[in-house]
Amino acid sequence: MAPPKHISGVSVIITTLILLVTCCHCATYQQQFMGPQNAVRARLRLKPLKWDAKLARYAQWWANQRRRDCALIHSNGPYGENLFWGSGKSWSPAQAAYGWLSEARSYNYRSNSCKAEMCGHYTQIVWKNTQRIGCAHVICNGGGGVFLACNYDPPGNFLGRKPY
């Protein structure tokens, strides 16, 4: 026996709402990672990074590997990679992106070098040939903090070459 039409209509509406909320959450999550990075790329007249599901799965796989210890160890995979760790549980993707982008103050384009601080996260973000990004985060076990990873393809940071 088929369900009454009003119930099937309600089911369709509920399913649609769930999909919209899920998609909106994904879009917001992606935008938190990509928004700040693409804003800086736009200021440098570079093409925006596009979200890539394969890179996001790779980033999630690596984040899951680091869930136990939250160690800032790179995956040494085929992609460019930025990692972030913060204590507590409330670090957002945007905060990680802004942290990486803050390294711009250490980068000297003329000499293609960093001052005293690290700047490789920044240069990966603004690497001209990089086109795609995928990111993920995990809450680390035992209150170990938050681990965030972004992977970039094609990778950047080739020795002796300027990012843009």
- Amino acid making up residue 94: A
**For residue 26, what pLDDT is reported?**
58
Q: Full-prediction pTM beyond 0.85?
A: no
Q: Which one-letter DSSP state was computed for residue 74?
A: -
List the pLDDT tens digit at each of the 164 positions of the chain. Answer: 444 343 344 333 333 333 333 344 456 889 999 999 999 999 999 999 999 999 999 999 999 999 999 999 999 999 999 999 999 998 999 999 999 999 999 999 999 999 877 999 999 999 999 999 999 999 999 999 999 999 999 999 999 999 99
Distances (CA, A) of 95 to 56, 66, 77, 86, 158: 18, 19, 24, 10, 26
Structure tokens, 65: 């590997």
